[in-house]
Structure formats: C-alpha cells, structure tokens
Structure 1
Amino acid sequence: MLRFARQWSMNVLLAVSAVAVSGAAGAQELESESEFAFGSRPRCEPGGSLFAPGEISLEERSEYRLALSADGKTAYYHVDSDTPPYQAIYVTQLKNGHWGPGEVVSFSGTYKDSDPFLSPDGQSLFYSSTRPANGGAERPDTDLWVVHRVRNGWGTPEHLGPLVNSPREELYPSVTRDGTVYFASGTFDTDFEMYRVRRQGNHYTAPENLGPAVNSPDSWEYNPWVSPDGRVLVFASLNRPGGYGLGDLYVSFNVAGTWTPAANLGPSVNTEKDEFHPLLSRDLSQLYFVRQTWDPFVPSDFYHLDTRCLWR
C-alpha cells in the first residue's frame, strides 16, 4: 500500500503538469482514483494550513526553509530574529504529537546561516552561510556548506569549494541521492537562476544552468527542492508572468534528461502573497512551504497541504 501511495503522489504531481496543458478534465477523471488510493478525500483549505502553529511557526519571528527527517520527527529550519543569533539554523523533535522548543544546532549561531537541507540518507546537512571559507572575517556574500553526522551530533562544516561558490550569492541547496546539488546563484540587485553541480569523487563539476524550461530571463528562480531520484523539481519564482502573487511555486519534471516547461502549482497553494521554500515529504504526499506578506510586513510562517489538493 505504501509503495502504491508513493506512486500515486507522483501521479498527482504529474497531473498538475498535464492539467496545465489540457485543462481540468484530466483532474476530474483522476478523482475517483485518488479516493481509491487513499480511502477518502483530503481536506483542502485554500492556501493550505499553518504548520505547527505556536511550536515552530511563531507569530513574533520569521521562519524559513524547513527540512524534515525521513520519519518526519526531526525538523530543521532557519530563523531570522531581532536578537542574537540574528540568523541561525534550529532543530526540534516531535514527541507525543507536539514539537519541542527549537534549539540552535551545534554548528550554527556565529554567522548568518540559512536554508538547511537534509541529504536523502540523513547523514549530511547542506546549508547557506556567510561563514569565512579560510578563517578571517565574515563573508560579504553567502556560500554553500555541508556538515556531516558524527557519533555525537554534527562535525565541522565544509565549504563546497570555489568551483561551486562564487563572489555572487549561492543559496538554497537541494541534494539528490547521487550527490548532485541543486541551488540558486545570483545577486539581490539583479536576479537569481537555478543551477546544479554533479558529485565526482571528492569534488564537484562546474555549475550547469538548468535552462530556459525553468529559468526565465525577467524573473527570479530560486528555492529549488529536488526529489531524491532527481525526477521532480519544485521551486519558487518571483514576478513570473501569469502568477497569482509576488512569488509562486512551480513544478518541472526530468523526462529523459530534459526538464519539462515549468507549471504553476495553482491556487490551492499560491495566493496574492509570496510563497517560497517548498519541501515535499519523502512519500510526496505533503507539500510544505513558506508564506510571507511584505506590505504590510508580517513575519513568515510554514504552511502545508496534501498534494492531492493541487489539482482539485
């Protein structure tokens, strides 16, 4: 049953792309299959539901980039705060149905750390940081780093190197099972596009732009989340024509090595506000994301929804 549920969740995401091309008829045809696969219709609140209110999502602060362990019982996320540490990565555990108080992870809290992403095997955590690569002063830009599990927690952070990191901003790492790293690179004064680097031994290849199917010349493309097998890419795009708000979530699929044209995930998740930092659960049944209001400013929080709601 679990294997079938995983496959169905993938089919739902594929249906999003199909509906974008062929209209709603395909979604109506799939509805009875959804009920068969899961036994009941999902509860679909427009825009999704607040995730862990009062436990992880707190009104007085902004939370960004959620990462969950395979069993869904450990959460990593980064917090922006008006008090030290101003930008750090936190961890919390789910016990008896509630998330405990978050604590700053052992390797964070000195520099501006953000964008945690757990590798598919859970043994490495990739993130963005202004930590200096070779000691000295804090970096003026943000680079990609990785830290590996050791017996009693996490080891020493490792810089991904000068071939991956540049004088621009490198942010939002996402990693597949074979070690390929997806990320966004750019500057806040211009724009961001998405790239990937492949793992070769102890090194990475030169960055490869993901191309015009997902990157567009007049918009920001960032916050990539990629499935462990590299087949599904969900990302955020800012000011993209045809969107629902300032920033929306999109999906693309790797078919025979080529990315399909990005499809907007639609009004079930995207609103007139800013949606970004997507994350799909391991079985692809839940979509987690961040929602932000900028005018007037409201601190960001995490939201989630059943992926079957994407085409309803």
Structure 2
Amino acid sequence: MMTKHIVYLLALLAVGCTTPKTSEVVVYADGPVREATVFAPGIISTDTHSEFSPTFSPDGRTIYFPRRAPEEKQQIYVSNFVDGSWTPPTVAAFSTDRDETPYITPDGRRFFFGSERPIPGRPNLGGFDMNVWMMEATPTGWSTPAPLPSPINEVQQEGEQWPTANNNLFFTPDNETYYFTTLQPGAAAIQLFQTTYRQGSFSPPTRITGLFDDPQYAVYSAVVSPDGRYLVFNSYGVPSGAGGEDLFVSRRTAAGWSPAVPLGDKVNSPDEESEPRFSRDGRYFFFTRAENLGNYTYGEWNIMYLDTEALGLDQLFD
C-alpha cells in the first residue's frame, strides 16, 4: 500500500510544469489597504471560529483555508470570489480529518496540506503528529490525497511529542525548490529546511541557517514572496519582536538568506501573529492574528491582510 502511494506521488511530480498566465488582476479591496485589516469579515474571518493560513488558486479567485470551531478539529474550507465578494465557505471534499496549512503550487497542478490522518504502513507511535499530503489537479477536481515519502514525512517514535517530526506546510515558489519546517529529535527548536525534486525523488533536506544568531528561536511556517526576494516566517519569544509570536523577514542575497529582522509594527503587536502568506501576484500580504489573553491563552484567530507595499520590506533592512 505504501509503495503504491509513493510510486503514484513520484509519477505526479514527474509531470512538467509551466506557470499559467492570467491577464486579469484580482483586487480584493475597494482601495489601498495600508493597515492590517480583517480579511472578508463575517465570510472568511469570523468571530466564532479560528481561520488561518489561506492559499489561493493561480487566478486568485478560489481560496482554501482551515477553520476550527472551539474544541473541534480544524478542516479545510473553500470559497470563490464572485462579483467582488466571497461565496459562503464549505468544507473541501478532501478534508476528512484534522487538516491545515493548504498550499497550491504556482502552476496550480499540486495541492499540499498538513493532516493528522495516519500514513498507511507508518503508524505514529508518539503523542501528536501531522504530515504532508499531496493531491494533483485533474479534469474532475483534486486527486485522492497521498502522503509525501520520507525524508519529508517522518512519523513520531514512541515517547516523542509535538512538535517533533511534525510537518504541515510544504511550500514552493517555483515548483522545484521546496521549503518546510520541522523539529528534528535533539534539535533546540523548529528549523527551516530546503529540498528539491529532481530525477524522481526529493533531495536530502538541508537546513537553512543564519536567520537567527541563537538556535533556540524557532523558524516555522516559512514562505517566499512571489518575486523570490523575501523569506517570511514566524517565531516565538524573540527579543526583537513585539512579544509572543511574531513575523520575521529575511532578504535574499548573493550568499543566501540574510539575518532575519522583525516584519515591523504594521504587522507585529503584543497579540499573536503567525502564518504569513502572499497573494498570487504579490499585491497583498496575509497573516493570522489572535488576541493574547495571557497565560498562553488566545482568542480566535482571524486572517488579516494589507498591501505588501505598505510593509516597506526593503526599508526594514536599512
């Protein structure tokens, strides 16, 4: 069963990729969005549930995002942008377990998401584990989800607890180089890894270093801007942040990724900020915010957004 899943996955990844061209620019607001604003309030972002980590179809007109009711498992919902507004979201047909961090590749051919569902033949022996699953676009919709093979998915061994071996967001800006974060056994914190898919398999993941001087600070939920210039991620308790969970950005240089700096007070606050994302054309920047209630308790998460230009990314490195 497991062999069949891996063979199926490799066959899907072997298909050549071209990024579709779209002539229409999708605008989600009536004018400039210069300050962090709740995204599609009452439709996508609600007061009664937590919504986070959106992904968009290549044309920007379909959104997938996880939604979690209090004390319930999160599932992935889908909505369409029609006549200037989003349709009422419904649970995506493939979301049958605790599912999160959806991501559609730039060419629209693959859909990755994190799930608690068990991997056939590789039982989780630890406390709590999520892994990356993939679907392929077909003429009739998304294919049946299949788990990514090792070395991407590593299930927990007996005695291991979250976030050890936890994998949920699998991101690529170019359909070839993939980024993911996980906590390896014995590591001080969640770290960022890079892998490529070539000649039928993923390369051994390599860790991206130099984002923080201190290895105790986590790097997770990392994405790259559509122009390839910026790496944005969240971390917790970093002294240069605004408190709690904050977003940080690194700029691509000739030598690799620069040391990370806080994303700035347009985004970071004494509340909790996480799950950075960009719209397909890079026009908008998305993140997730929850009120910090103290003692590691939080309000419901909402998807926030603003114009990427308003972040002044280059100025953050001056």
TM-score by shorter chain over 0.5: yes
Residue in structure 2 matched with residue 44 of structure 1 by the alignment: 34
Match of 1:66 among 48, 54, 58: 54
Q: Is the 8 A contact 1:91 1:104 kept in 2?
A: yes
Residue in structure 2 matched with residue 29 of structure 1 by the alignment: none
Residue in structure 2 matched with residue 291 of structure 1 by the alignment: 289
Q: Is the 8 A contact 1:194 1:215 kept in 2?
A: no
Q: Is the 8 A contact 1:117 1:127 kept in 2?
A: yes
Stretch moving more, 195-204 or 183-192: 183-192
Return closer, same or farther for 1:90/1:214 CA change in 2, 3 Å cut-off: farther
Residue in structure 2 matched with residue 117 of structure 1 by the alignment: 103
Q: Is the 8 A contact 1:220 1:239 kept in 2?
A: no
The one-letter code matched in structure 1 to 2:250 is S
Return closer, same or farther for 1:220/1:213 CA change in 2, 3 Å cut-off: closer
Residue in structure 2 matched with residue 269 of structure 1 by the alignment: 267
Q: Is the 8 A contact 1:193 1:215 kept in 2?
A: no
Shift of 1:112: 1.4
Residue in structure 2 matched with residue 143 of structure 1 by the alignment: 131
Q: Is the 8 A contact 2:67 2:75 kept in 1?
A: yes
Match of 1:208 among 206, 209, 219: 206
- Segments of structure 2 that go 5 or more residues without pairing to the other structure are 1-24, 26-30, 157-164
Residue in structure 2 matched with residue 132 of structure 1 by the alignment: 118
The one-letter code matched in structure 2 to 1:144 is V
Instruction: State yes or no: 1:170 paired with 2:157.
Output: no
Secondary structure of 1:147's match? strand
Secondary structure of 2:182's match? strand
Q: Is the 8 A contact 1:131 1:138 kept in 2?
A: no
1:214-244 CA distance string (max 9 Å, x none): 5841222111112356442111111112111
Residue in structure 1 matched with residue 144 of structure 2 by the alignment: 156
Shift of 1:266: 0.5
Secondary structure of 1:309's match? helix
Structure 1: distance between partners of 2:213 and 2:143: 35
The one-letter code matched in structure 1 to 2:208 is L
The one-letter code matched in structure 1 to 2:120 is N
Residue in structure 2 matched with residue 22 of structure 1 by the alignment: none
Residue in structure 2 matched with residue 92 of structure 1 by the alignment: 79
Shift of 1:44: 2.4
TM-score (norm 1): 0.79
Bigger RCO of structures 1 and 2 (CA < 8 A, at least 6 apart):
1
Return closer, same or farther for 1:215/1:77 CA change in 2, 3 Å cut-off: farther
Q: Is the 8 A contact 1:42 1:309 kept in 2?
A: no
The one-letter code matched in structure 1 to 2:258 is T
Aligned length in residues: 269
Shift of 1:245: 2.1
Return closer, same or farther for 1:265/1:165 CA change in 2, 3 Å cut-off: same
Shift of 1:43: 4.8
Whose helix proportion is higher, 1 or 2?
1
Structure 2: distance between partners of 1:217 and 1:51: 34
Shift of 1:291: 0.3
CA RMSD of aligned residues (A): 2.5
Q: Is the 8 A contact 1:42 1:308 kept in 2?
A: no
Structure 1: distance between partners of 2:255 and 2:198: 19
Q: Is the 8 A contact 2:210 2:258 kept in 1?
A: no
Structure 2: distance between partners of 1:114 and 1:61: 14
The one-letter code matched in structure 1 to 2:179 is Y
The one-letter code matched in structure 1 to 2:170 is P
Return closer, same or farther for 1:257/1:227 CA change in 2, 3 Å cut-off: farther
Return closer, same or farther for 1:163/1:215 CA change in 2, 3 Å cut-off: farther
Stretch moving more, 49-58 or 127-136: 127-136
Q: Percent identity?
A: 32
TM-score (norm 2): 0.77
Structure 1: distance between partners of 2:212 and 2:252: 11
Instruction: State yes or no: 1:182 paired with 2:159.
Output: no
Secondary structure of 1:172's match? coil
Secondary structure of 1:76's match? strand
Whose strand proportion is higher, 1 or 2?
1
Return closer, same or farther for 1:207/1:216 CA change in 2, 3 Å cut-off: farther
